[in-house]
């Protein structure tokens, strides 16, 4: 038996007036997801437990079968694992976004214009040279997503994800509590370093949105989780362009498959994800494919672009997998988001999300399309999202 888990990050949504009062999933042409839902099990699941932030870290942890109430310590230590950063028991990792804050007051863009990895790396290297010390180090990641490690730092600081405050004044959302004064000092010094960096002048001259600041959030210490091989005896692989998902995959013992041209945005190599996933099934039992563009377009507040991202996921990723997976014999496919990212709010929501669980040995399924409303109509609600993976791998109800 082969298993393919496909996560359309933030794919779920609310009805949108500009789409005729339907969600992007309902509007999109998704024959492949519809087939999986119609011929398989369709329902809703809660990937975000009560009291936890609606984020990819929590949602994906649930999807990979880990109870966030037991294992979640913060987002950044998961990303640090993906980046190959070895944290000690007393290290605290912070996500370090490069962001654009207009006039020093308003969160204009939490991605700094989707800054390129090359441009961002130059800035992070300068920050490490200027601010790095025996206690604090900056590590370059991908695009706007980076990491700061504070050796012996506090964990009780209150921070806010920058994607939650787009177009809002930042003053009310600055770090508070233990360590906040040091974080404010680092941020203020970083602002000056970024302003003086040649990359900033280059981006302004080219008409690109410049990074102006760092934004520190998602902190925590290293989590300890059992691997999927230890739990289920399966050899697994992962395809993603996003560090937080890559980190969870590393902690879960999954082999990360490098696919050329994957970006975590709408220009990603969708077909390559499907093709490399099929190839990975030659020597793996389980492959997890993560697609980020469905989340990014929700954050952008662009309903039409989110519809396109969903259609590209369906045609180019899922379609590619379905076209080649039969050569492996019996297989199961699970499709779902980690959380909703409604276009109307441009941030994450903790609503239950639709899942489709398909088993090639049976076509006696829901008979419905894959979307939020149809999933709700089935009455199948998995309250504890982390239990769905065991149901997927064990085919239990």
Q: Please give the full DSSP string across 17-82, using - where no structure is assigned.
A: GGGTSB-HHHHS--HHHHHHHHHSEEEEE--S-TTS--SHHHHHHHHTT--HHHH---SHHHHHHH
> Does 342 lie in the same domain as 280?
yes
Say whether both 110 and 45 belong to one domain. no
pLDDT score for 66: 96
Per-residue pLDDT at 73:
87
As a dihedral over the C-alpha atoms of residue 265, residue 266, residue 267, residue 269, rounded to 10 degrees, the angle is 80
> Are 199 and 237 in the same domain?
no
Output helix, strand, coil percentages for the chain, rounded to the nearest 5: 40, 20, 40
**Same domain assignment for residues 177 and 96:** yes
In angstroms, what CA-CA distances link 288 with 20, 87, 176, 254?
33, 25, 37, 9
Looking at residue 79, what is its pLDDT?
A: 86
The whole-number pLDDT of residue 396 equals: 42
Q: Give how many domains the chain has, as a whole number.
A: 2
Same domain assignment for residues 195 and 339: no
In a domain, 11, yes or no: yes
pLDDT score of 14 more than 70: yes
pLDDT at 222: 87
Has residue 86 been placed in a domain?
A: no
Segments forming the whole domain that contains residue 274 = 2-72+224-394
User: Is 332 inside any structural domain?
Assistant: yes
Give this prediction's pTM: 0.81
Report the pLDDT value the prediction gives residue 397, as an integer from 0 to 100: 35
For residue 52, is it within any domain?
A: yes
Last residue of a domain, one of 196, 220, 244: 220
Q: Domain with 288 in it: what CATH number?
A: 3.40.720.10
Q: State the Cα–Cα distance between residues 388 and 45, nearest whole angstrom.
A: 8
Calculate the average pLDDT of the chain: 95
Say whether both 237 and 368 belong to one domain: yes
Output the pLDDT for position 243: 84
323: left (phi over 0), alpha (psi -120 to 50) or beta: alpha
Q: For 320-375, what is each residue's pLDDT tens digit? A: 999 999 999 999 999 999 999 999 999 999 999 999 999 999 989 999 999 999 99
Q: Is position 83 within any domain?
A: no
Q: What is the pLDDT of residues 195-250, one digit of tens each?
A: 999 999 999 999 999 999 999 999 999 888 899 999 999 999 999 999 889 989 99
Q: Does one domain contain both 212 and 243?
A: no
Average the pLDDT over 4-17 and give the result. Answer: 98
Higher pLDDT, 396 or 171: 171
Q: Are residues 144 and 156 in the same domain?
A: yes
Choice among 23-32, 51-60, 279-288, 324-333 with the minimum mean pLDDT: 51-60
Query: 202, 220, 238: which is the final residue of a domain?
Result: 220
What does each C-alpha distance from 348 to 12, 303, 363 come to in angstroms? 10, 15, 33
Residue 339 DSSP class: S
pLDDT in tens, 252-285: 999 999 999 999 999 999 999 999 999 999 999 9
User: Is residue 54's pLDDT more than 70?
Assistant: yes
In this structure, the answer to whether residues 250 and 387 fall within a common structural domain is yes
Same domain, 19 and 138: no
pLDDT digits (tens, 9 = 90+) for 105-137: 999 999 999 999 999 999 999 999 999 999 999
């Amino acid at each position: 038996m082969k298993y393919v888990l496909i996560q359309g990050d933030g794919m779920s949504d609310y009805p949108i007036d500009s789409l005729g009062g339907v969600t992007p999933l309902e509007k999109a042409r998704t024959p492949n997801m519809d087939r999986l839902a119609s011929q398989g099990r369709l329902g809703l699941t809660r990937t975000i437990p009560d009291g936890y932030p609606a984020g990819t870290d929590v949602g994906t942890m649930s999807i990979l079968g880990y109870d966030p109430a037991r294992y979640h310590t913060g987002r950044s230590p998961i990303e640090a694992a993906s980046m190959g950063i070895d944290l000690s028991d007393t290290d605290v990792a912070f996500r370090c976004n490069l962001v654009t804050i207009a006039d020093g007051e308003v969160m204009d863009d939490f991605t700094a214009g989707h800054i390129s990895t090359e441009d961002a790396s130059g800035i992070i290297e300068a920050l490490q040279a200027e601010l790095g010390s025996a206690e604090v180090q900056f590590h370059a990641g991908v695009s706007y997503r980076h990491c700061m490690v504070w050796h012996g730092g506090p964990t009780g600081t209150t921070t806010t994800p920058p994607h939650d405050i787009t177009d809002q004044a930042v003053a009310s959302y600055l770090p508070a509590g233990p360590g906040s004064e040091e974080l404010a000092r680092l941020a203020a010094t970083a602002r000056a370093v970024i302003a003086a960096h040649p990359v900033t002048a280059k981006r302004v001259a080219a008409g690109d949105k410049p990074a102006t600041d760092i934004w520190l959030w998602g902190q925590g210490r290293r989590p300890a989780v059992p691997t999927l091989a230890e739990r289920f005896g399966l050899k697994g692989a992962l395809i993603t362009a996003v560090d937080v998902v890559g980190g969870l995959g590393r902690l879960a013992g999954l082999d990360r498959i490098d696919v050329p041209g994957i970006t975590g945005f709408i220009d990603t190599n969708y077909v390559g994800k499907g093709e490399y996933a099929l190839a990975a099934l030659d020597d793996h039992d389980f492959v997890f494919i993560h697609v980020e563009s469905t989340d990014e377009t929700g954050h952008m507040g662009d309903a039409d672009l989110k519809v396109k991202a969903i259609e590209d996921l369906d045609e180019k990723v899922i379609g590619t997998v379905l076209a080649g997976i039969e050569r492996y014999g019996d297989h199961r496919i699970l499709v779902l988001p980690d959380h909703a990212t409604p276009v109307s709010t441009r941030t994450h929501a903790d609503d239950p999300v639709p899942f489709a669980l398909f088993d090639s040995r049976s076509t006696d399924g829901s008979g419905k399309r894959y979307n939020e409303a149809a999933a709700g109509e089935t009455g199948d609600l998995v309250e504890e999202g982390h239990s769905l993976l065991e149901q997927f791998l064990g085919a239990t109800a």
